[in-house]
Chain A
Amino acid sequence: MEKRTVAAILVFTIVAVFFLFSIFLLHPFGKPGQVQMDDYIITHTQNETGANNGVTSVVFDYRGFDTLGEATILFSAVAGVMLIFRRVRH
């Protein structure tokens, strides 16, 4: 066999073994490791934020700073597109 084929088989085997080990090291489905924060948010989100949708209350209230970063990403994407295509005017 050629050297390239051997190297490809070797790399494929290493990556496959790595992914197999990480599959077996996953948490079992429905049993997360740390549940304190989940339980706090599930029990307190309606009292503290007044929203029935827990996901939105996490995204915009508990973790609002992450959403600010997300909005910044969209803003910089629009700025980049307008910068690249700025000659496209009539």
Chain B
Amino acid sequence: MTKIVKTTANMLFPFTMIFGLYIIAHGHLTPGGGFQGGAIVASGCALLLVAYGSSWVFDRIKDKRLVAFESIGAIGFITIAFLGLVFSAVFFGNFLAGSGTLFGTIPATGSTLSDFNTGGVLPLMNFVVGVKVIAGLFVIVLIMAYASSIKEWSR
């Protein structure tokens, strides 16, 4: 692409990253969550893909590592669900809420000021689902863009 598109992508990329990671990190306080924030970050990576071309990105990021991150996110999600089964006897049980430790504060009922240290397992689940969605959507876009850009498939 031209230099205008590259410069615009360079300027927009960090803000898109910050916004998407903010949506993921504050999933238990503000609208959004792991899926939405991951989609924002993946679309920021797709912006790089549009501006710099798929072979440029494909040389710098290995798709196997992205697939590994996707699997790590899925395994972490199921692990947290089974930890709920172990500690609170319910699958997907929220064993950290109200425990007073990590993310364990209970806010007052009604409209309150947002305390980040609340939510139990919800911030952890938002984090692992965010990692999973970022890696999954980006590897889908990257592989399909690269496959459509090559002229002839190697046999």
Binding site for B on A (CB under 8 A): 43, 46-53, 55-57, 59-61, 64-65, 67-68, 70-71, 74-75, 77-78, 81-82, 85, 87-89
The interface of chain B, by Cβ under 8 A from chain A, is 27-31, 33, 35, 63, 67, 70-71, 73-74, 77-78, 81, 91-92, 94, 97-98, 103-110, 112, 114, 118-122, 125-126, 129, 132-133, 136-137, 139-140, 143-144, 146-147, 150, 153-154
Known contacts A56-B28, A61-B121; 15 additional CB pairs below 8 A are A43-B109, A47-B106, A50-B97, A50-B122, A51-B120, A52-B29, A52-B114, A55-B31, A56-B27, A57-B28, A71-B129, A75-B74, A75-B136, A85-B143, A87-B154
In the complex, chain B residues whose CB is within 8 Å of the CB of A59: 33
- Rounded to whole angstroms, the CA-CA distance of A47 and B110 in the bound complex is 10
Q: Which residues of B contact A70 (CB under 8 A)?
A: 35
Q: Which B residues are CB-close (under 8 A) to A88?
A: 143, 146-147, 150, 153
Q: Give chain A residues whose Cβ lies under 8 Å from the Cβ of B139.
A: 78, 81-82
Given A57-B122, A60-B125: A81 touches B143 (CB 8 Å cut-off): yes
Bound CA–CA A68/B121 (angstroms): 15
**CA of A37 to CA of B63, assembled, Å:** 43
CA distance A47 to B120 in the complex (A): 11
